[in-house]
Each structure stands twice: as structure tokens, then as C-alpha cells.
Amino acid sequence: MRSSLKDVAARAGVSVRTVSNVVNGSASVSEKTRVRVQQALDELGYRPNLAARSLRAGRTGLIGLVIPEIHSPYFGELAGLLVEAAQRRSWTVIIDQTHGRADEERRLLKGTHAPIVDGLIISPWALDASELSKEAGSTPMVLLGERDPRQVADHVAVDNVLAADEATRHLVETGRRRIAAIGPQPELRNGTAEQRLTGYRQALRRAGLTPDPVLEVPVPTLHRTAGARAMEELLDRGGPAPDAVFAFSDELALGIMRTARDRGVRVPEDLAVVGFDDIEDGRFSNPSLTTVSPDKAQIAERALQCLADRVYSPGGGLKGTVPPQRITVPHRLVVRESSRPAEGGSRGAGS
């Protein structure tokens, strides 16, 4: 059995109050007793009981991270960064996956963990912001990469329109003309794909090109398989082949490159490819992948900052007095082999 404050107090011949003070440094304790108590603490291997502490404090020190899937490279990297940022603030992270399903998003917000976490960070796919905030009740919540017209919660995201515009412009500037967009997800309530589509079209128009619906290929998921399949579709449609693709995620892009290879389409000579997310695979793929790189560390840091602002402030709850924030995190375009102008072929390491 683990020893409690009472046990330690008995052993040190002081009251629990004093022991508590020593443990937390909450009030001044005479050096003599402090040493004695510390010794008893060590001897008994005292560890505070978190449940009791939470019950008292009304806070658990846990925050929930709700994402579509842990094993996806993008969310995996993000989750890792969030766990570390949380650690710095003495928070512990509970991770849950929704697989992008509405019922799971709903369940995780209200049912399973809402009562136990101090706050939530969620990357929603199926639910829109107002429904999310309804489910979350009064638990402070930060949305990742979600559009929220009515501003009901805090947001942290890159400027998706701008980023997609830059990616597309890069393709235009390297001489591409039939630029496809693989990644729109009409069924999702998440605005991300929509924003990237907007940026893509915007860049085309600015370059004097007309967006062609045939070149906009929707996908059911952002996985490699979906990318591979979408590319097959695109090639099978007949008509003039695309000479570039802007993929809404790196995973899609990797699937696209796989299909290209299977069909004898050379990347980047015949087809330039740009992805989004800057996952590690893309740095080592063959060819290496040009991509939009969001500052993930900053996403993690700012999201936690938002939560902290609410959890530790009096009127901080979601329905409290702290106004919802919209935080835009920087991104940059990383050019690698998959979109290099066709001069040196595909051989050779990227810089």
C-alpha cells in the first residue's frame, strides 16, 4: 500500500499540514522540521495521490487531444510535440482517435473524457465548430485547422488559402500549365480542404489559367491509398494529362507518386508534385517531396497557450469571458525534387 500524508506525518511526528507544506513548499517551514519531514518522505517513498489532489483542486492536470488518427505521420508528429509542450506546463495528455467519424467526435467530447480533462484540443473532421462547442459543454477547447465562422472557440491553424496559393504559384512559375488539385473532401465539415481549394483556384486565376473541374479530384480520406486511386482516376479520364499536381496532404502526394511510377509517368519530368504537411517520409521519398511546411511546434505551443489562458483564468471556460482567439501560425514552401524544373533528371540528393 502506498503511504499517505498521514503516514508520513506520524513517522515524522508532525501534523499532516506540515507535511503538505513541505511537499508543496506552500508555507514556510522551519529548517529543522523540514529536514525531518523530508527524511520521512524519502523513507516511505511518498507519492501524492493525484485523485485526491484533483478532487480537492477541481482540476485534473489532464488535457484531451482528439485527432482523427494517431498513426498518421502528420498527427503523430503533432501529437509528439503537444505531449512535450504539455509536459513543460505540467500537463498530461490523453490521446483519442476519431477516425474522422462524427459519432466518435461527439462521444469523445461529451461522453468519455469531458468530465476528466481540464481542456480539449481537437482536430475536427466531421463536426463543425458550433456543434463541437455544444458537445464540449463548458470544457475549454481549442480547434486545430478548422474554420469557424461564428468564432465560438479558440483556433490555431496556418493560413490555408495563402499556403495553397503559394504552392500552386510555385508550380505555375516552374512552367506547369495543367495543374490538378487532389484532395477536396466535400463531405467533411472541416473547412481545411475547402480553403486549400480556394487558394489553388485563386493562384490559377492570377496566372491567367482557368480552373478546370476535371482537374479537381475529391478523395474520401487523406491517405496514400486515396491519393493513388485519385491519380489513377485522373489518368484514366482521358483528355490531356496533367503536368502537375497539388496534393492536399503529403500522404496523398506519396500515393500519387506511387501511381505515377506504376503508370510510367516520371516525376518531376512529366509531372510535378507538391504536397502539404512536410512529414518525414517526404524528405526521404523517391523523389523527395516538395511540400508546404506548417510550423508544427508553434501549433502545439500556441494551442496549449490558449488552453492555459482559459483553464487558469477565472472566467476562462468556453462560455466564459475570455474572447475566442484566432491564431495563424507561419508556414513555408519547401522545394525538393518532386517539383524541380526538368533539367537534371531525378538523380542526386536534394539540398
The mark string for 35-74 relative to DNA (x by CB under 7 A, - otherwise) is -----------x-xx--xx-xxxx----------------
Which residues form the interface with its own copies (CB under 8 A)? 2, 45, 47-52, 54-55, 60, 62, 69-73, 76-77, 79-80, 83-84, 87, 92-97, 112-116, 137-138, 224, 228, 254-255, 257-258, 261-262, 264, 280-281, 283-286, 347-349
Residue 14 site contact among DNA, its own copies, none (CB < 5 to 8 Å, cut-off depends on kind): DNA
Angle at 286 between CA 283 and CA 291, to 5 degrees: 40
Least separation in angstroms between residue 73's CB and DNA is 39
- To its own copies, the closest distance from the beta carbon of 113 in angstroms equals 7
Place of cell 524541380: 340
- Alpha helices by DSSP H, 237-285: 250-262, 280-284
Of 4, 92, 298, 346, the residue at the interface with DNA (CB under 7 A) is 4
Interatomic CA distance for residues 266 and 271, integer angstroms: 6
Query: Which distant-in-sequence residues (6+ apart) come within 8 Å of 261 by Cβ?
Result: 267
254 binds, among DNA, its own copies, none (CB under 5 to 8 A by kind): its own copies
- For residue 318, the minimal CB distance to DNA (Å) is 19
Q: Does 138 bind DNA (CB under 7 A)?
A: no
Q: Please give the grid coordinates belonging to residue 171.
A: 508550380
42 binds, among its own copies, DNA, none (CB under 5 to 8 A by kind): none
For residue 74, give every residue at least 6 positions away whose Cβ sits within 8 Å of its Cβ, in sequence order, or none.
249, 250, 251, 277, 279
Q: Is 175 left (phi over 0), alpha (psi -120 to 50) or beta?
A: left
What does the buried/exposed string (b/e) look like for 240-264 if buried means 16 or more CB atoms within 10 Å of the residue's CB? eebbbbbbbbbbbbbbbbbbbeeee
Residue 69 corresponds to which cell in the numbers above? Answer: 488518427
Which of DNA, its own copies, none binds 96 (CB below 5-8 Å, type-dependent)?
Answer: its own copies
Q: Which is nearer to its own copies, 164 or 256 (CB)?
A: 256
Q: Are 82 and 93 in contact (CB under 8 A)?
A: yes
For its own copies, give the closer residue by CB, 103 or 173.
Answer: 103
- Of the ranges 14-22, 173-181, 272-280, 313-321, which one interacts with DNA (CB under 7 A)? 14-22
Residues 96, 64 contacting (CB under 8 angstroms): yes
Residues that bind DNA (CB under 7 A): 1-2, 4-6, 13-18, 20-21, 23-24, 26-30, 32-34, 46, 48-49, 52-53, 55-58
